Amino acid sequence: MSWKRRLILFVVVMLFASMLGSYAWAAEPGATLDVAPGVPRHETLILENPEGRIADPGRFNRWAQGGGNSTGLQQLALDTLWYIDPDAGIDDPWNNSLAEAPPIYNEDYTQMTVKLRKGIYWSDGVEFTADDVIFTVETLMANPAMSFGAQFQLNVDRVYKTDDYTVVFDLKQPNSRFHAIFTVRWSACFIMPKHIWEKVDDPVAFDFNDPLVSLGPYVLKDYDPNGYWYLWERREDWHRTSLGMQYGMPQPKYALYIAPGPADKRVMAQANHDLDVIHDLTPEGMISLVNRNPLSKGWFDGFPWAHPDPTLPAVMLNNEKYPLNLPEVRWALTLAIDIVNVSMASYNGAATLSAIHVPPTGGYLEWYFDPMESWLQSFSIDVDGEPFYPYDDTVACRVAETVRKQLGDQVPTDPEQLKKALGYGWWKYAPEVAEKLLLKNGFTRDRRGNWLLPNGEQWKISILCHGPTVPTMTRAATMIAEQWTKFGIETKAEPTDLLWTRLDYGDYDVCLAWCIETWGGHPDLFWFLESWHSDYYRPSGEQVVNKNPMRFKNEELDRIIEEIKGRDFDDPACVDLGIEYLKICVKEMPIIPLMAYNVFAVCDWYYWEGFPTADNPYTNPVANWANTKFMFPMIRPTGRK
């Protein structure tokens, strides 16, 4: 053999030897794994950052563009006055975080006073005081291009302190919900460290890096200059943060937020115990994961696993466009949907359905779903002079029955359990009733059975929906399009990347998206409902104001919104008004509610245990929500290394 050939052979053998050697070393029993030099795996909680790779990884200015949000920044380093947990909270969904108590309003809601906690310190040892809150508000007001800047300009007349721990906001007009700006749902206006930012010339350009001073229980230890991971280390003085002060030491010494890539890789990573918290998966990925790793657990311990976010995907109907401006036509479309098939197509049956216009999550079951149940049972629509009762409370059982063919015993049988997991009920699939409603409104069928508008034109519908980024919604839209086509309306699903822009400008007839988002842990509906007031109505072609892309107007609803606005955030009468809103929506059906936005957040109980679940719902496990900070003092190491 020539020396060249021997050399090549030697190199090849060495390459294989080193590969196998490294594999053997990694698999050596008893060896302690490190996720990074000096960072033991068993002391680290690894979470998915669903934002993927961050283009500008060194930017931590949460009040302006750029950088990431779910890198641990808003979960572990930033803090604000209050949090509302979408679930039950550790002791209550409402959490006074940097504030010592809930907001104090004067009688006409033109002034809000905030009492701050004492003994909270920034990670560089400077005390957090009223000056930080005032500085944040004034800085943002001076820079309307930053988040909340323009809102503060519009609302705040003056912000000042009466002592180091009391901040007073004088408002330009009455606003009983002003505190919501500082209340985390999934995010909110966080507080800036005055002693850092006051030295900055251009707050928009400032990266808030070097140093990133933290008000949360962790500090940034390191991050990937390529934007794939962020490593946080517990502060020595964690007890001087709002979280530590209330709930004790956050258990993981380190937290690592990573962008693990596509769903299949997330499954592989967690099956290998390399990813403790998955933000979201496809339903199929979830099934595959629980079959591979018995320690992978979702919100429910078994089917349907997913955490229902307090967001309500719905079939949005542009109420301005004929014939969708007719309530009976909207009802006909509702009755032409077979929700069991939609649930199967979108979530493989793991959807939490909602017949009414709030998501079936958190405390909403008790506040709205239970009280509405008997009304829904007796609710009828007039069909050719006869009452038709459209509500169907057997839907959850029927979905479960269908799924049981695939998953067998993994699907619960207890009807009460099913109701919570899969929804209280939905609307009957009644194409024959839908037909009567359309005929009543002058629609006719052609020889092939397709529906014609009263003017003789063929009725065609295009359902706008998300592209592959939100596959569950695309699948739901496709199934509904199929069902409406079967009913005789020529319908197609139209995935688009410009969904929100087209919704905003009313450039659509039908769309599968969402505009109803609630606190989950608090019954107040004003958060989304305010923009449904006709004062903010904008016709198609003009940009919508926030959350009324269906262009719905209703005088009775205006009254309800005004009444809620005039009442305190915690006034129980607001729930009654909310129920009135729900009844109007059921009668008018401005959009067709479908289901909660279910998220397959999966936690691996291999290194850590005590993650939030439906049985212990102390917080939301969905990793991009700022509320997930409450998970950190609650989980415990399993002792595995």
Partner 1 sequence: MPRSFLSYIAQRAVQCVLVILIGITITFFIPRLSPTDPVETAVNQAVMVGQFSHPDAVREMKEALIRLYGLDGTLLQQYVRFWKGLLAGDLGPSLSSFPKPVMTLIRGSLPWTAGLLLTTAVISWTLGNLLGSLAGYYKNQRWASIVGIIAMALHPIPYYIMAFVLVVLLAYVVPIFPIGGAIDIGLKPAFSLVYLSSLLRHAILPSLSLLLVGVGGWFLGMRTLVTNVIAEDYVTYAKYAGVRDRVIMYQYVMRNALLPQITGLAMQLGLIFNGALITEYVFSYPGLGYLAYNAIFAGDYSLIMGVAVFSIVGVSIAVLLIDLAYPLFDPRVKYQ
Minimum gap (Å) between residue 8 Cβ and partner 1: 15
Structure tokens given for 390: 């459209």
Given 260, 298, 359, 590, the residue binding partner 1 (CB under 8 A): 260
CB of 38 to partner 1, least distance (A): 8
Considering only 75, 147, 474, 483, the residue that binds partner 1 (CB under 8 A) is 147
Q: DSSP alpha helices (H): ranges in 101-193?
A: 130-142, 149-155
Q: Which stretch binds partner 1 (CB under 8 A): 262-270, 279-287, 372-380, 442-450?
A: 262-270
- Comparing CB distances to partner 1, the nearer of 189 and 586 is 189
Least distance (Å) from partner 1 to the CB of residue 405?
29
Q: Does 224 bind partner 1 (CB under 8 A)?
A: yes
Q: Is 476 in the site for partner 1 (CB under 8 A)?
A: no
Residues 502-531 that bind partner 1 (CB under 8 A): 502, 504, 526-528, 530-531
CB 631 within 8 A of CB 619: yes
Question: Which residues, numbered 4-33, are part of the site for partner 1 (CB under 8 A)?
Answer: 19-20, 22-23, 26
Query: CA triplet 71, 124, 128: central angle to 5 degrees?
Result: 90
Minimum gap (Å) between residue 558 Cβ and partner 1:
15
Residue of 498, 570, 572, 576 interacting with partner 1 (CB under 8 A): 498
Which of the residues 272 through 331 are near partner 1 (CB under 8 A)? 272, 274
Please choose, from the candidates 370, 344, 342, the residue with its C-alpha nearest in 3D space to the C-alpha of residue 358.
370
Binding mask 526-565 for partner 1 (x = CB under 8 A): xxx-xx----x------x-xxx------------------
* Minimum distance from residue 373 beta carbon to partner 1 (Å): 29
Look at residues 309, 304, 269, 308 and name the one whose alpha carbon lies nearest to residue 289: 269
401-409 own/partner pairs: CB under 8 Å, 24+ apart: 402/340, 402/344, 402/349, 403/303, 403/344, 403/348, 403/349, 403/350, 406/348, 407/287, 407/303
The smaller minimum CB distance to partner 1, of residues 204 and 245, is found at 204
- 3-state SS of 210-275 is CCCCCCCCEEEEEECCCCCEEEEEECCCHHHCHHHHHHCCCCCCEEEEECCCCHHHHHHHHHCCCC
Examine residue 229 and tell whether it contacts partner 1 (CB under 8 A).
Answer: yes
For residue 20, the minimal CB distance to partner 1 (Å) is: 8
Under a CB-based contact definition with an 8 Å cutoff, are residues 579 and 585 in contact?
no
d(Cα 347, Cα 352) in Å, to the nearest integer?
Answer: 9
For residues 240, 244, 249, 250, the Cα torsion angle rounded to the nearest 10 degrees is -120
CB of 576 vs partner 1, minimal distance in Å: 21
Using the contact rule CB under 8 A, the part of the chain among 114-122, 498-506, 508-516, 591-599 near partner 1 is 498-506
Distance CA 35, CA 157 (A): 50
Of 126, 168, 195, 228, the one binding partner 1 by CB under 8 A: 228
Rounded to the nearest whole angstrom, what is the least distance from the CB of residue 261 to partner 1 in the complex? 5
566 contacts partner 1 (rule: CB under 8 A): no
Residue 133 in the binding site for partner 1 (CB under 8 A): no
Of residues 161 through 190, those in contact with partner 1 by CB under 8 A are: 177, 180-181, 185, 187-189
Rounded Cα gap, residues 635 and 4, in angstroms = 59
Q: How far is the CB of 58 from partner 1 (least distance, A)?
A: 9
Q: Among the candidate windows 210-218, 236-244, 259-267, 431-439, which touches partner 1 by CB under 8 A? A: 259-267
DSSP character string of 331-376:
HHHHHT--HHHHHHHHHTT---B-SSSS-S-TTHIIIIIHHHHHHH
**Which CB atom, from 321 or from 547, has the smaller least distance to partner 1?**
547
Identify which of residues 375 and 537 has a Cβ nearer to partner 1 in the complex.
Answer: 537
CB 141 within 8 A of CB 149: yes
Residues across the chain? 641
| Residues sharing a CB contact under 8 Å with residue 174, sequence separation 6 or more, in sequence order | 108, 109, 110
Residue 204 vs 326, nearer CB to partner 1: 204
Indicate left, alpha or beta for 408 from its phi (over 0: left) and psi (-120 to 50: alpha): left
Rule CB under 8 A: choose which of 6, 118, 158, 265 binds partner 1: 265
> Minimal distance in Å, beta carbon 392 to partner 1?
34
Residue whose CB is less far from partner 1, 336 or 626 = 626
616/91 Cα distance (integer angstroms):
11
Please state the closest distance from residue 604 (CB atom) to partner 1, in A: 15
* Residue among 271 and 452 whose Cβ is closer to partner 1: 271
CA atoms within 13 A on the CB side of 523: 21
Could you tell me if 614 and 301 are in contact, meaning their C-beta atoms sit under 8 angstroms apart? Answer: yes
Binding-residue total with partner 1 (CB under 8 A): 74
Given CA atoms 556, 179, 598, 147 in this order, what sign does their dihedral have? positive
Instruction: Work out which of 110, 111, 113, 151 binds partner 1, going by CB under 8 A.
Output: 151
Residues 204-223 that bind partner 1 (CB under 8 A): 204-205, 222
